[in-house]
A and B are shown apart, each in its own frame.
Chain A
Amino acid sequence: MPAELAQRAGWRFLRRHPWQLSLALLGIALGVAVVTAVQLANDSAQRAFMLSMETVNGRATHQIVGGPGGLDEDLYRHLRVVLGLRESSPVLEAYGRSGNEALHLLGIDPLAQSDMASAMRPALTVEGDTLTELLTRPDAALLAAATAARLGLAEGDRFTVTLGGRTREFHLVGLLHDPESAAALDGLLVMDIAAAQEATGLTGVLSWIDLRLPPAEAGEALLRRIHDLLPTGAQIVTAASRSAAQLQMSRAFHTNLTAMSLLALLVGMFLIYNTMNFLTLQRRRQLGILRLLGVTQRELLMLHLRETCLLALGATLLGVAGGVILGEGLLALVGRTLNDLYFQLTVAETRLAPATLALGVALGVGGTLLAALPAMLEATATRPVHALQRSRLEDHSRWTARHLTTGGVLLALLGAVLLLAGSSLMMGFTALFLIMLGIAALVPQVTGQAARLAARLLPGLLERLALRGIAAGLSRTGVAAAALMLALAAALGVSIMIASFRISVAQWLEASLHADLYVAAPGLGTSRTQGALDPDLQQAILALPGIRAHSTGRGVQLEREGELIELFALGLSPGLSPRYPLREALPGVWEAFRAGRGVLVSEPLAYARGLAPGDSITLPTDRGDRHFRILGVYYDYGNPGGQVLVDRRLYEAHFRDRAVGGLGLYLENPARAGETADAIRRLAAEHGQALRIRSNQEIRRHSLAIFDRTFTITQVLRLLAVIVAFLAVFSALLALQLERGREQAILRASGVTTGGIWRITLVQTGFMGLLAGLLALPMGMLLSQLLIHVINRRAFGWTMTSHTPWEALGATVVLGLAAAWLAALYPAWRQTRQPPARALREE
């Protein structure tokens, strides 16, 4: 009976304080929403990737991949005719565009597909005439039904596709349907392999050969026989390792997103803590009375627990729902970044994985309970008589603040130890969180000391009253300041990191881009090779007047033991010397490079593999595996997966590939770059190959635009964290004001005007905001250094010079102050509006 009474009392209390209830709900919901959204975006992107790999790989167990020039198609004949390997199927892959749709072109042999039973299987059930058309018409193509619908195409229609800068007209002879895997098929353009070779200009080569080998010994034996057949440069890898290698590239990116989302949740937990604390404290009197009425401690605890759980669950569900909506938006950003940096991907659908849902619920409910626990224990453990006195509580909270300080120092130390002990990215993030939490735990103590100190220094009575109020209400003010500090510091740290990163990238671009004009063949985007410049067109361009020197570039992707390696072959015309910004190098590095005595590796690659100048790296060349001496390590922010730089002559000595992907043109008169670009455009039109022509400024602009785009998602997450922090301050102040109602009523009764009350409020909140802002400065700087030197390095292997944007520091303090004052408006207004007599009567 008393328990029931307590329960009813609890709900009535919450109903009477809708603000508190909403804030608590909002805090939990926002935190959960951000985590869910990021998880959702990550999952959907990865799932889309796996699906597309599955569609492409079919049921292949292994794949034979070639060197940069692709795989000689004759190998396939060998496998079938000599080895009698039935379960094999050739694939030519390329990427193209039609309208706004990115298309994934797969050239296949429909007759071989029958032996492989690919995942496309159900979709490829076409009628007899369709097959005849597919096999015999050079322009026949099949499109995923959903993609065709978006392009407004029906069977029989003609449509144009841009492939490697060339526009091709195709005839849609059929649609790929499969309700089971519509998402996996989306974006797929399927052609007969002959037509695909002709459309891409890649006659004679395959992207890879799918194999399905029997398990165990039989498969091993077959594998050995295939090995003997492989031409040098070709290798056989398991299909799973290939997908994994691709996915691996983007893993650091996903990890970073997850960490950012956890930051939002962490700040959210402060909000929850504050709210729950407030709710509990507001009810101390009520709880004390309930205890006097015979409700046991245990019953009260259970009651609290139930309330908190219900609240948490409700808010979490709200958060998950919000997260799904937010996730759709984030997914677009994630997808764009993946396409910019890693691989082409059509993410057609978001799916809430059960694991994501579970994570959101666990974090929401668990986080809430954890954050509410201290308040619950506090309130229920207090003896009924004490519950009626507030000073007890504040004495207690000062005591707690001291303990918090000790705990914080320990946490931060633990974080530091972890930081030094491990080298993994996850460990780095864990350390980062521990350090941040540890430092945040110091804030209440610092706040109390600072307020008392300031109170002694400040002259005005009201000001002193205000500051003493902060020290007295430390259980609330301290935590609010900590939450605000944490959010501001995170925002500042991320800002500094991004600014440093951006400046490093800009400097790197400045130092790396020397040519006046860059001409590139738009890639077919095959996972194997970059687009190739038409050799005739290349000759014609180089014959243009006004070109004083040129460089050639060829970017290819190699694969060795399930790892992908980007290789860039640099050719320089006489008189040019390579000038890549180097991090470290052997003496005489460029002479040795030009003489083909070794290669250079990019910083991310060097970091990931622990390479240094003087070491060697093994590359799968067309003549088999070869070791190359590493002459130096260069800065490179363009290829997160790492890159090997090789001189063109050395490249040609080891690879059959003679294609050129791009040209750097050095003009006699850089001011006339526009005219030269126009001339190149005309030549390109004559040769029927669209080219990307950019001046070095344009490349710089474009690169930085991609950079900014990449960090859009970070900015969004940062903003969300600040919003949550603002709510935390708001809720804390509201609580403070409501609690101080009686004191302020006494003040007003003693002749303090409404203006005076305002002044007290503004001083109190201003002090907290200012303090949080100031404390956020060193904390933010520390955080930025951790992000720059630990997280980014571990995630991507990049180093960058740190650069502190002073305006960001100022902005942090201003933001702290402004947030605090803004949050104070409503509570203060409410306070002054209330007749003092009413507040006094309440006691």
Chain B
Amino acid sequence: MNAVSRARACLILLFLSFMTPFILPGCDMSAPSPDNGELGELLGGEIEPGFARAITPRTFHFPEDHGAHPDFRNEWWYFTGNLEDTDSRRFGYQLVIFRTALTPEALPRRSAWATNQIYMAHFAISDLEAGHFRYFERFARGALGLAGATTDPLRVWLEDWQIQGTEDGGWHLRARADGHALDLRLSPRKPVVLQGAAGLSRKSERPGHASYYYSQTRLATRGTLTLPSGAFTVAGLSWLDREWSSSALAPDQAGWDWFALQLDDGYDLMFYRLRRKDGSMDPASSGTLVDPAGRARHLRQEEVRLEALGHWRSPRGGRYPLRWRIAVPSHDLALEITPLLEAQELDVAVRYWEGAIAVQGRHAGRPVSGRGYMELTGYGRPPRPGGR
């Protein structure tokens, strides 16, 4: 079971459901978010017939599966990471490319512009020392070479933002916008982790309500970050989430909280909590603990205890739980999560919080600390009367 797939499926579907009134009028970053819609209402319901579905486990082949799976409705390449420059100045970054098929089948057409594939990308840099957070959003059609994904050479791009596969099984990321840029080389320190059941991440009892999901949880990262104030030579750790599916959220779900933590004892923890509208945790919530050698242990919902400790009120409205206690007693793991910067909210087509975090706690009797990324959705609108 994998809620990140759900979570992110929601996200991308939401983007697409809502981007139209935003895209066409011009993507004004300050445009109000679609506060009027409930995720569940929007995304619940049947899977549109015609798209491929994730029903049975599959055998993953690399690098082919790093490329696009256009028969599925949604897909993404999700990079996040914590970096430091030579003077220990800290940064966070996010570079994600989403792909969506508007229709199950691409009609044969003569124009090179014709496509049923749309790409969207988000690029954000958190300048943690200065307390600055900048983000950018882009859309492009998956045609004419404007955006797309190829496996030979391995490349996913949206205009001049691109993700290229490198020979060592890692990545070369490049993006720039308005004086902000990144040029990073990522090389894997652990093998690919198949999430859920061998990469099949179920989302409900119904067949097809699932996604294919894998991660690279520890990618050593070096390169350059550029801000309007100057360029920084940086190093650190990144995380890649890859997922594709055609399914949607359950009607009773309100949002999700996703954590990707990289601990200094070599362990990596991923956990997501799917929140129901009644405030409870959905049983589909789950996680994975990856040991220093890359062996993954699936974590069921009931194995993980999650508690919000403190909140941040967004100036755009909504209240995000940014401080957490997370515990996995079965693995003798207890951590406290603090945001490295509170204002890491992206006010894009759909408003969400995604940012760099720090963790501190104990693991197997020893103190540990670490870094990570956290994604919080569904908080960006005022609570509805009668909700929760």
Q: Which residues in A have some Cβ–Cβ distance to B below 8 Å?
A: 73-74, 76-77, 80-84, 86, 109-117, 121-122, 124-128, 130-132, 135-136, 138, 192-195, 197-198, 203-204
Contact A198 B144 (CB under 8 A): no
A135-B141, A138-B107 known; A121-B25 Cβ under 8 A: yes
**Residue of A74, A76, A115, A127 touching B20 (CB-CB under 8 A):** A127
A132-B102, A136-B116, A194-B113 known; A81-B24 Cβ under 8 A: no
A132-B102, A203-B110, A203-B112 known; A110-B23 Cβ under 8 A: yes
A293 to B212, CA, bound (A): 110
Residues of A within 8 A of B160 (CB): 80-84
What is the chain A residue whose CB lies nearest that of B138? A86
17 further contact pairs, Cβ within 8 A, besides A111-B23, A114-B26, A197-B110: A73-B112, A73-B144, A82-B160, A86-B177, A113-B24, A114-B139, A125-B21, A125-B24, A125-B25, A126-B21, A128-B19, A132-B103, A135-B141, A136-B102, A138-B114, A198-B110, A204-B112
Contact A111 B26 (CB under 8 A): no
Contact B111 A203 (CB under 8 A): yes
A650 to B374, CA, bound (A): 66
Contact A115 B26 (CB under 8 A): yes
A76-B144, A81-B146, A128-B20 known; A198-B26 Cβ under 8 A: no
A127 to B34, CA, bound (A): 13
Residues of A within 8 A of B25 (CB): 114, 117, 121-122, 124-125
Contact A114 B27 (CB under 8 A): yes
Q: Which residues in B have some Cβ–Cβ distance to A below 8 Å?
A: 16-27, 102-103, 107, 109-116, 118, 138-141, 143-146, 157, 159-160, 176-177
A673 to B351, CA, bound (A): 70
Contact B111 A193 (CB under 8 A): yes
A212 to nearest B CB, angstroms? Answer: 11
Residues of A within 8 A of B21 (CB): 125-127
Top 4 closest A-B pairs, CB basis? Answer: A117-B26, A84-B160, A194-B113, A194-B114
Contact B141 A128 (CB under 8 A): no
A131 to B171, CA, bound (A): 33
Contact A116 B26 (CB under 8 A): yes
11 contacts between A and B (CB under 8 A): A80-B160, A86-B159, A110-B23, A111-B139, A113-B24, A114-B25, A121-B24, A122-B25, A132-B102, A135-B118, A197-B111
Contact B116 A114 (CB under 8 A): no
A136 to B23, CA, bound (A): 16
A198 to B113, CA, bound (A): 10
A122 to B21, CA, bound (A): 10
What is the chain A residue whose CB lies nearest that of B20? A131
Residues of A within 8 A of B18 (CB): 128
Most buried by B among A117, A135, A197: A135
A249 to nearest B CB, angstroms? Answer: 31
A267 to nearest B CB, angstroms? Answer: 53
Contact A80 B16 (CB under 8 A): no
Residues of A within 8 A of B144 (CB): 73-74, 76-77
Contact B26 A81 (CB under 8 A): no
A195 to B110, CA, bound (A): 9
Residues of B within 8 A of A117 (CB): 25-26
Residues of B within 8 A of A76 (CB): 144
B265 to nearest A CB, angstroms? Answer: 41
Residues of B within 8 A of A127 (CB): 20-21
Contact A130 B113 (CB under 8 A): no
Contact A195 B111 (CB under 8 A): yes
A110 to B146, CA, bound (A): 14
A370 to nearest B CB, angstroms? Answer: 53
Contact A80 B159 (CB under 8 A): yes
What is the chain A residue whose CB lies nearest that of B22? A114
What is the chain A residue whose CB lies nearest that of B114? A194
Contact A194 B109 (CB under 8 A): yes
Contact A115 B27 (CB under 8 A): yes
Most buried by B among A114, A117, A138: A114
Residues of A within 8 A of B139 (CB): 111, 114
A130 to B102, CA, bound (A): 11
Residues of B within 8 A of A192 (CB): 113
A76 to B144, CA, bound (A): 9
A131 to B141, CA, bound (A): 12
Most buried by B among A84, A111, A117, A197: A111
Contact A198 B146 (CB under 8 A): no
Contact A80 B140 (CB under 8 A): yes
A760 to B126, CA, bound (A): 103
A197 to B157, CA, bound (A): 25
B147 to nearest A CB, angstroms? Answer: 9
Contact A109 B111 (CB under 8 A): no
Residues of B within 8 A of A125 (CB): 21, 24-25
A201 to nearest B CB, angstroms? Answer: 9
Residues of B within 8 A of A115 (CB): 26-27
Residues of A within 8 A of B27 (CB): 114-115
A80-B146, A128-B17, A131-B24 known; A111-B114 Cβ under 8 A: no
Contact B114 A84 (CB under 8 A): no
A124 to B19, CA, bound (A): 12
Contact B113 A73 (CB under 8 A): yes
What is the chain B residue whose CB lies nearest that of A90? B113
A84-B159, A124-B24 known; A109-B141 Cβ under 8 A: yes
A713 to B157, CA, bound (A): 58
A456 to B146, CA, bound (A): 94
A462 to B157, CA, bound (A): 102
A84-B176, A116-B26 known; A126-B112 Cβ under 8 A: no
Contact A194 B143 (CB under 8 A): yes
Contact A113 B26 (CB under 8 A): yes
Contact B111 A194 (CB under 8 A): yes
A121-B26, A128-B20 known; A111-B111 Cβ under 8 A: no
